[in-house]
Amino acid sequence: MEVLGEKSFRSKQVYEWLWKKNAASFEEMTNLGKELRAKLEEHYFIDHIKLDDQQISSDKTIKCAFSVEENKVVEGVLIPTSSRTTACISSQVGCSLACTFCATGRLKLMRNLTAGEIVDQVVYLKDQAENRYKTPLTNIVYMGMGEPLLNYKNVLRSIEMITSEDGLGMSPKRITVSTAGIAKMIRKLGDDEVKFNLALSLHAANDKKRSHIMEINDSNNLAELADALRYFHQKTDSRVTFEYIIFKDFNDKIEDAQELAEFAKCVPCKINIIEYNPIDDSEFQQADRANVDSFAAYLESKNLVVNVRRSRGKDIDAACGQLANKNKAILKEERVLKAK
């Protein structure tokens, strides 16, 4: 503002329009004079993400495809239930980790999202919750496209703005960041004494099996992750969530549950057993309901907190692991048509 010859207090007004009111244009900033708005329009632009496509599931889940610069697309999902309304958001365009069960992992990593692009997803989904379903947004999970801890600075900046009184003012305890397991970055979360929740995408408590489905395990094995999680808990006193997608005849036996129960001793935790959602040409299948129930019952017999998560939004490929599964083909077709 001072460079433009304006009073410095104007900067706070612009800041509030951007982060608290989520203005998409300078024209919306009505407490600034017309002359100043014209000056801002001349020298600056607001890099706002745009809604490219939206699908609504039969269970009311909403999947949104957002376009960012250079026609790149990321997806965010609003998941309403009777007890909560959750925004699942992306942190990168694509992903570099190539987990075999995940549609996003089949896309190459194109770039990190900025903090503003991450917050924009939250704001749009928050508006959908309030205007379409007349309910507040209660939770945010960084479980969309990308690995959040490989975009560390922007993810933490976005959470700062989501939780700040100068931003959306949400409690950090309503935010969960999910990682495929990068030990040194989990330790850094501990050093930074973060207040939000941490979830580890585990999916197998056996190094051989985990490496088969998650290449990241070759460089961040279970012993290293356990050490990092102990350090994180020591620094933050936060309980960790273990996410466990259960696959038929791969990790759904009682022996697998025994290995998981043993690994879970490393920190106070809860375990989310997640129904597998098929993607094109996948080698995996959904586990039988009886096996899932037996698996969960065994863990509960060891006094572990267990939730079985049934998938939502499957009919629009909005369920866990499916993001980018269908939209990739749709967007490719659309670009061909535009080129013609």
* Among the ranges given (4-8, 35-39, 105-109, 310-314), the one the predictor scored with the smallest mean pLDDT: 310-314
Tell me if 87 sits within 8 A of 140, measured CB to CB: yes
Tell me if 25 sits within 8 A of 32, measured CB to CB: no
**Considering 130, 300, 320, 334, which one is annotated as catalytic?**
320
Tell how far CA 222 is from the center of its chain. 22
In sequence order, the 6+-apart residues with CB closer than 8 A to the CB of 94 are 104, 107, 108, 109, 110, 145, 146, 324
48-339 maps to which CATH number?
Answer: 3.20.20.70
74's enclosing H/E stretch is strand 72-80
Q: For the whole model, what pTM was predicted?
A: 0.88
320 as an active site residue: the answer is yes
Tell me if 105 sits within 8 A of 135, measured CB to CB: no
338's enclosing H/E stretch is helix 327-339
95 as an active site residue: the answer is no
**Considering 75, 117, 147, 275, which one is annotated as catalytic?**
75
Most confident of 93-107, 153-167, 307-321: 153-167
Q: Tell me: the pLDDT tens digits for 83-130?
A: 999 999 999 998 888 777 877 667 788 999 999 999 999 999 999 999
CATH class, domain 1-46, is mainly alpha
pLDDT of residue 211: 96
User: What residue ranges do the domains of the chain occupy?
Assistant: 1-46, 48-339
Q: Tell me: the pLDDT tens digits for 204-225?
A: 999 999 999 999 999 999 999 9
